[in-house]
C-alpha cells in the first residue's frame, strides 16, 4: 500500500501546486474563510467519506476516512486561514484580495493534505484503522480554531495527531523535528493606567499616567531578567503605548498593549504572577488605578518525545528521493494553536523546509515577501504519508 500511495502522490504533484496557487490567489482572514471552506468541502464531494463542516467556532472541517481493516485512529491537521498583509512577493499567482495574503504557508498546508487525503480515500480498503483529516480555520487569531474543535469532542477517539509547518529554515527536501516543548506559549495583555490630568507646568496638582506607564515598561522587563531561570526562555514585548496628547498637558490615562511568550507552563506561571505583582506595585507607588486584561492565547506546544522519535526514525529510513535530509530543528519562538490538540492527544508537529531555490536569506513566515519552494508540497505529502502508514501498520499492542 505504501508504494502505491507514494506513486499516487508523485503523479498528483502538479495538482497540489495548482491547488496551492488557487488558494494563494484567494486568501481569507481568520474566521472569515467561508469560500475557502466551501472549496475544501467541494473537494470531498461524492467521495466515500464522512464530512463534517462548520466544526468549532468557525469554518472547521473534519473528514473521516474509515479503513477496510481494524486499527488505530489518528488525526492529520492543516490550517487554511491567511493574514492581514499586503503581498509584495513577486509571483504570478499574487493575492487578489487587497490587504490579505497567505504569508505563512497555510495554502501549501491545505493543498498537500487535500491530495494526501484523497489518495488515502482511494486506498482505504487497504488502510488499517481510521484517519481524521482536520482542515482547521483561524490559526492566526486567538482564540483560534483548534481549541473549539477539541471542545466538540469529535477528536476524542484519536490515539495520535500529526501536523506539519512549512518553514524557510532549510531547502525543500529537509524535514525537521523537535521533541518536548517546541513552540512558545503566548499571552495578550492590555493595561489601562488612570491618573489625573493637569497642566504641564503644575505636575504636583496632577498624577501623570505616562510616568507610571514608563516605569511599568521598564519594570516588566525585569521579570525575564530576574525572575525566570536563565535555563528557560520568556519574552515580554510592549507593542503599543498609547499616550498621545498635547505637549503641555499631563495625560490622565494611557493604554499599553503587548505580547508575552514563554517556553513552558512553569515560565508562564512565573510571568503571570510577577506581572500582576508589578501592576499592583504601580498602583501603590504612583497612586493610579490600573485595569489589566491578561489573556493566555495559545499554550506552549509540547511534542510527545516517543512519537517524535518515531517520526524521525521513520523518515530517516525512508527511501523516497524527495526526503533528502531529516534533522533536529531548534525550539521555535512563535506560537501555534496546534498546541491545544497536543494538550489532550499524543502527537507531534514537525517541519518541512521550503527555502526558495537560489535564495540565501529567505523572507520568513508573516513577511509580505514570503515565498516558498513548491517542491516542499510533495515532501510534506510523502513525509506525512510515510508517518501515517507506518503508525497505522504498527500493532495496537
For 164-192, give the DSSP string: EEEEEEEETTEEEE--EEEE-EEEEEEEE
DSSP label at 196? B
φ, ψ of residue 309 to 5 degrees: the values are: -65, -40
Residue positions annotated with a catalytic role: 81, 139
Nearest to 233 by CA among 274, 260, 262: 262
User: What separation in angstroms does the CA of 47 have from each of 41, 118, 157, 272, 367?
Assistant: 11, 8, 23, 48, 37
Strands 60-66 and 174-177: unpaired
160 neighbors 74 (Cβ within 8 angstroms): yes
Alpha helices in the chain (DSSP H): 2-11, 13-25, 34-43, 106-122, 146-151, 209-226, 265-286, 305-316, 338-344, 375-393
φ, ψ (nearest 5 deg) of residue 67: -70, 165
Amino acid at each position: 500500500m505504501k508504494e502505491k500511495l507514494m506513486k499516487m502522490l508523485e503523479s498528483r504533484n502538479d495538482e497540489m501546486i495548482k491547488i496551492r496557487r488557487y488558494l494563494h490567489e484567494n486568501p481569507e482572514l481568520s474566521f472569515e474563510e467561508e469560500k475557502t471552506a466551501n472549496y475544501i468541502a467541494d473537494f470531498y464531494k461524492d467521495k466515500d467519506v464522512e464530512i463534517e463542516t462548520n466544526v468549532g467556532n468557525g469554518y472547521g472541517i473534519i473528514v473521516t476516512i474509515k479503513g477496510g481493516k481494524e486499527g488505530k485512529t489518528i488525526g492529520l491537521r492543516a490550517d487554511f486561514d491567511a493574514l492581514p498583509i499586503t503581498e509584495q512577493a513577486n509571483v504570478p499567482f499574487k493575492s487578489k484580495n487587497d490587504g490579505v495574503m497567505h504569508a505563512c504557508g497555510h495554502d501549501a498546508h491545505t493543498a498537500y493534505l487535500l491530495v494526501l487525503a484523497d489518495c488515502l480515500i482511494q486506498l482505504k480498503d487497504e488502510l488499517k484503522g481510521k484517519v481524521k483529516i482536520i482542515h482547521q480555520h483561524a490559526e492566526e487569531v486567538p482564540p483560534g480554531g483548534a481549541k473549539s474543535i477539541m471542545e466538540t469532542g469529535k477528536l476524542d477517539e484519536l490515539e495520535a495527531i500529526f501536523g506539519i509547518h512549512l518553514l524557510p529554515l532549510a531547502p525543500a527536501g529537509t524535514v525537521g523535528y523537535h521533541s518536548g516543548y517546541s513552540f512558545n506559549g503566548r499571552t495578550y495583555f492590555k493595561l489601562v493606567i488612570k491618573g489625573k490630568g493637569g497642566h504641564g507646568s503644575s505636575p504636583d496638582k496632577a498624577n501623570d499616567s505616562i510616568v507610571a506607564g514608563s516605569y511599568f515598561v521598564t519594570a516588566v522587563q525585569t521579570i525575564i531578567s530576574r525572575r525566570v531561570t536563565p535555563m528557560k526562555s520568556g519574552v515580554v514585548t510592549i507593542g503599543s503605548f498609547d499616550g498621545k496628547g498635547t505637549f503641555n498637558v499631563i495625560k490622565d490615562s494611557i493604554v499599553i498593549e503587548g505580547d508575552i511568550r514563554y517556553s513552558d507552563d512553569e515560565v508562564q506561571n512565573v510571568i503571570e504572577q510577577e506581572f500582576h505583582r508589578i501592576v499592583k506595585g504601580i498602583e501603590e507607588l504612583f497612586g493610579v488605578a490600573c485595569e489589566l486584561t491578561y489573556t493566555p492565547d495559545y499554550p506552549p506546544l509540547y511534542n510527545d518525545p516517543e512519537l517524535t522519535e518515531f517520526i524521525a526514525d521513520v523518515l530517516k529510513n525512508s527511501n523516497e528521493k524527495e526526503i533528502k535530509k531529516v534533522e533536529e530543528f531548534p525550539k521555535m519562538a512563535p506560537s501555534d494553536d496546534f498546541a491545544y490538540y497536543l494538550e489532550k492527544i499524543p502527537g507531534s508537529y514537525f517541519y518541512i523546509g521550503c527555502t526558495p531555490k537560489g535564495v540565501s536569506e529567505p523572507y520568513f513566515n508573516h513577511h509580505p515577501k514570503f515565498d516558498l519552494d513548491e517542491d516542499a508540497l510533495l515532501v510534506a505529502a510523502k513525509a506525512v504519508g510515510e508517518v501515517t502508514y507506518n503508525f497505522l501498520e504498527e500493532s495496537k499492542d
